């Protein structure tokens, strides 16, 4: 399931389920990294390509982490619902 989620996020470039919702953020971070490389006088084609890949990977991994946290919260909510208890009671038992 996690691999399928990663595939969807990477192919759709999404943060919230809408196609290309992460594109603007990736572009903004990439431009910042390129400007930092220009200031350091180490701008090259490979560094630009690496900046783009690293930025995309960083944004997608954060998005995957958010989805995993959401999945965990849903499991907790369901467990509390089935046991007819609140979250505090769920953790104390």
| Whole-prediction pTM | 0.72
Q: Which residue from 61, 33, 62 is spatially nearest to 49, judged by alpha carbons?
A: 33
The band of 93, judged by pLDDT with boundaries at 50, 70 and 90, is: low
pLDDT at 1 over 80: no
CA distance 93 to 85: 10
Q: What letter does residue 21 receive in the DSSP assignment?
A: S
Could you identify the residue written with the tokens 């969807």?
A: 8
* Mean residue pLDDT across the chain: 85
Q: What is the mean pLDDT of residues 35-55?
A: 84
pLDDT at 52 over 70: yes
Contact 9, 20 (CB under 8 A): no
């Amino acid at each position: 399931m996690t691999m399928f989620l990663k595939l969807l996020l990477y192919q759709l470039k999404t943060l919230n389920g809408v196609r290309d919702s992460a594109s603007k953020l990736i572009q903004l971070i990439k431009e910042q990294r390129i400007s930092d490389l220009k200031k350091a006088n180490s701008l090259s084609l490979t560094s630009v390509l690496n900046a783009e890949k690293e930025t995309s990977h960083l944004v997608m991994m954060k998005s995957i982490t958010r989805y995993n946290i959401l999945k965990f919260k849903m499991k907790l909510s369901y467990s509390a619902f089935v046991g007819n208890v609140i979250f505090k009671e769920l953790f104390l038992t």
